[in-house]
Amino acid sequence: MRKLYIRTFGCQMNEYDSEKMADILHARNGLEQVADPAEADVILFNTCSVREKAQEKVFNDLGRARELKAARPGVLIGVGGCVASQEGESIIGRAPYVDLVFGPQTLHRLPEMIERRLSSGLPQVDISFPEIEKFDSLPPARVEGATAFVSVMEGCSKYCSYCIVPYTRGEEISRPLEDVLVEIAELAQRGVREVTLLGQNVNAWRGPARGEHADADFAELLDYVCAIPGIERVRYTTSHPREFTDRLVDAHARLPKLAAHVHLPVQSGSDRVLAAMKRGYTTLEYKSIVRRLRRACPGISITSDFIVGFPGETDEDFRQTLELAEAMAFDGSYCFAYSARPGTPSASLADDVPPAEKNARVRRLQALVDATAAAISQSMVGTRQAVLVTGPSRRDPAELAARTSNNRVVNFAGARRLVGHLIDIEVTEARAHTLRGVVPGSQPVTQSQAQAATGGAR
């Protein structure tokens, strides 16, 4: 066994977990990650079940892995993540060529599961929730570059009526404060300048009380993280409106290292629908958080998630969602058509908005938010922005890419030595998904333009 292929579906928690799978299988089994599943000895799927489409994709891809295994019988196939957590053994029933089924909280046991699979010849299933054990058993992350994700809490205890996550990931558990801080300090020593604190509801994070002190909350965690030498920018995702405390709002006024961006899913602009979703807040409460955030950090970018076509959502409910989206001037959003998830409370309600209507609502809402985001990008042209230079640009490797505080990619011509540094950039142009900029005082030409000019191409 030498090569590992991982296919990741779903959210950033899954992206993070996939990196951890690669880390542990590299440290313990010497496996190198490859981009082509046909080369791999171990093929892992890190799956998502948040919507039906995501779940079905997994089974399509598994079919392809089966063909690879037929061609090379020694190949091991593993299914992890939320579909695995939900379906367990039954995955082997549906796809008997699968060797390993593991959950988001048991991925650190992969080396032992592989060993048992090889010695017993039997498929291995472990989808238990052994609390925080996972983090204690993982090798240090292999970092490349100036940014890193750090998981601070796992799971979700909110039980929104439509959502599968509490059942697949388990209840909310916070990682101990010291563990988080030590991990970030080590990352900083290895060149990381920006960390994104991750959790299904990061602001539900709690540290245990110490002596006279009450429980530490997420705002306090941010204080500690921002104080770590070398860390220049801090982000977090996803936050939940229900635990968006005044202290967290204040952190945005107090901590200059905190990025001017919050992803704060609202889901709907109708109080009736929010109540049916069991979100635990009203539109008024949501608007009040956004208003206070904007006061604390002028220019802060707020992005959101929406579900349209929830059971019973009327034209009037949807109109209220459009109205809220417009009023909040969101700087981006993910709009999803409601998808009934087996086992959730809302799955017993009639899924009564026709698919064509759901899709039309998704398009209308997404277009509205995209237009506000484009206007915000346009308003940044001519301004100076502090950006963290992350590496070569994806489109033109002769250029650099950097990220603004409000989470936009800026491409510009600049020297390689800028990578990993926080610098000022002047924004010169807003494109569909990125910005263009120049280092103040430098020539506003790209390297490729310069090459074309010297080559006499034009």
Q: Which is nearer to ligand F3S, 17 or 220 (by Cβ)?
A: 17
Angle at 432 between CA 428 and CA 437, to 5 degrees: 20
Looking at residues 238 to 267 of the shown chain, list those that interact with ligand SF4 (rule: CB under 6 A): 240
Question: Residue 198 interacts with ligand F3S (CB under 6 A)?
Answer: no
User: How far apart are CB 337 and ligand SAH at their closest, in Å?
Assistant: 6
The interface partner of residue 341, options being ligand SF4, ligand SAH, ligand F3S, none and the CB cut-off 5 to 8 Å by kind, is ligand SAH
Q: Strand 147-151 vs strand 409-412: parallel, antiparallel, or unpaired?
A: unpaired
The interface partner of residue 166, options being ligand SF4, ligand SAH, ligand F3S, none and the CB cut-off 5 to 8 Å by kind, is ligand SF4
Q: Which is nearer to ligand F3S, 169 or 361 (by Cβ)?
A: 169
Mark 158-187 with x for binding to ligand F3S (rule: CB under 6 A) and - for no binding.
Answer: ------xx--xx------------------
Gap between the Cα atoms of 8 and 65, Å rounded: 14
Name which position in 15, 305, 351, 396 contacts ligand SAH (CB under 6 A).
305
Token digits of residue 9: 């579906």
Angle between helices 246-254 and 283-296 (to 10 degrees): 20
User: How far apart are CB 410 and ligand F3S at their closest, in Å?
Assistant: 28
| Cβ–Cβ under 8 Å, residues 269 and 365 | no
Q: Residue with structure tokens 């296919």?
A: 7
Q: Which is nearer to ligand SF4, 306 or 412 (by Cβ)?
A: 306
Q: Count H helices and E strands in the chain, helices first.
A: 15, 21
**DSSP per position, 248-308:** HHHHHHH-TTB-SEEE---B-S-HHHHHHHT-S--HHHHHHHHHHHHHHSTT-EEEEEEEE
Looking at residues 33 to 62 of the shown chain, list those that interact with ligand F3S (rule: CB under 6 A): 48-50
Gap between the Cα atoms of 435 and 404, Å rounded: 10
Question: Residue 200 interacts with ligand SF4 (CB under 6 A)?
Answer: yes
Alpha helix (H) ranges present in 309-426? 315-328, 355-380
| Cβ–Cβ under 8 Å, residues 442 and 413 | yes
| Cβ–Cβ under 8 Å, residues 198 and 12 | yes
Question: Residue 153 interacts with ligand F3S (CB under 6 A)?
Answer: no
Gap between the Cα atoms of 304 and 255, Å rounded: 22
User: How far apart are CB 150 and ligand SF4 at their closest, in Å?
Assistant: 19
Number of residues that bind ligand SAH (CB under 6 A): 18
Question: Residue 274 interacts with ligand SAH (CB under 6 A)?
Answer: no
Beta-ladder partners of 182: none
The interface partner of residue 305, options being ligand SF4, ligand F3S, ligand SAH, none and the CB cut-off 5 to 8 Å by kind, is ligand SAH
Question: Residue 201 interacts with ligand SF4 (CB under 6 A)?
Answer: yes
Looking at residues 113 to 132 of the shown chain, list those that interact with ligand SF4 (rule: CB under 6 A): none
Q: Residues interacting with ligand SF4, by CB under 6 A?
A: 156, 158-160, 163, 165-166, 200-201, 240
Q: Residues interacting with ligand F3S, by CB under 6 A?
A: 10-11, 13-14, 48-50, 81-82, 164-165, 168-169
Q: Residues interacting with ligand SAH, by CB under 6 A?
A: 50-51, 156, 162-163, 165, 200-201, 238, 240, 265, 267, 305, 307, 336, 338-339, 341
